[in-house]
Copies of this chain bind each other. A is one copy, B any other.
């Protein structure tokens, strides 16, 4: 993508992402005021991630709301590539999926792509990714999904259900399509090449339309699925895209499982959170206190503020107070960081407790084999 200074693919996110430009490039639709009102109306309430543009773009969300209005069922599917520990960037679409389940009473499928990460990461064995998949699943279950309406799928474990559907999709995707969509070449291994059809298969695990909350970097997979859908007589999956949670360092790209200092992980202790935020979180503050008091900080580039906005502070009034105080200069960067550390420690403390409770009951969430 030589005409842009950012890259967004399922395996690589780099540079300062221009989301307006990304909408244009990917050919998705912005969630505008009318769509926002429509989904809030259907749900009976809003969600802070929608209001604040954390979910900013979609494909065919309207058709899902049409189905719902006509009392036809839909289901929700999201997932995770288990290459390491879970960080809060991963939780964004899952938290939203939980809200969709609560508000619309829908089935939620959660796919753990142990095969994909094995194919993509030279140093990981399939045992590694399978083990990570189970650990990642605990973070998902800890969010409080309804066990009766939730199924966890691990690709290698549930391949009996996925492969025949994946085969239908795979017959209609050729190597050139994957080269154009993912940039694959002669050196790409054949597991990676085939893999996109396994991710597509989840769209047809139930005989109903699917809505997929997902990081926008995963969109290319479902662009292929959407092209194939009419050829196999199935509905196109609908998507709702979230922005990538920025790394603590605040530059371009996204939080990464492979760099422990780039992200807040779900298993971080309060001391670890404090240390990382104080040391690494990019600040929107001024070079010295006097100047900060006089001119105020910039919350739009301040990572601590952004983490509160995107994830840890659902309360609009409290968020507005922080923004006002920081912008006006009455709140210093250190104070803002303390608020983030406190909110994150509180959130993750409770999460970690539910996460451990989930360990014994995980099999109850697994799809039948």
Contacts and interface: CB of A to CB of B under 8 A. Distances in A.
A195 to B, nearest CB: 9
What bracket does the count of chain A residues touching chain B fall in? 35 or more
Copies in the complex: 2
A257 to B, nearest CB: 19
Contacts of A173: 189-190
Contacts of A184: 175
B174 A190 contact: yes
Interface string A178-196: 1100001111111101101
Given A175-B184, A184-B175, A194-B194, A189 B170 contact: yes
B193 A175 contact: yes
A187 B176 contact: yes
A184 to B, nearest CB: 7
Contact of A175 (B115, B168, B188, B196): B188
A126 interface: yes
Contact of A178 (B156, B172, B187, B190): B190
Nearest to A191: B170
Interface of A is mostly: helix
A124 to B, nearest CB: 10
A334 interface: no
Contact of A172 (B168, B175, B188, B189): B189
Interface in A145-199: 156-157, 159-160, 163-164, 167-168, 170-179, 184-191, 193-194, 196-197
Interface of A: 115, 118-119, 126, 156-157, 159-160, 163-164, 167-168, 170-179, 184-191, 193-194, 196-197, 369
> Shortest 7 CB-CB distances between A and B: which pairs?
A194-B194, A170-B191, A176-B186, A159-B163, A160-B160, A170-B190, A156-B164
6 contacts: A118-B167, A126-B167, A159-B159, A173-B190, A174-B187, A190-B196
Given A157-B160, A170-B189, 14 more contacts: A118-B171, A126-B167, A156-B164, A159-B159, A159-B163, A171-B189, A171-B191, A174-B188, A175-B186, A175-B188, A175-B193, A179-B186, A190-B196, A191-B194
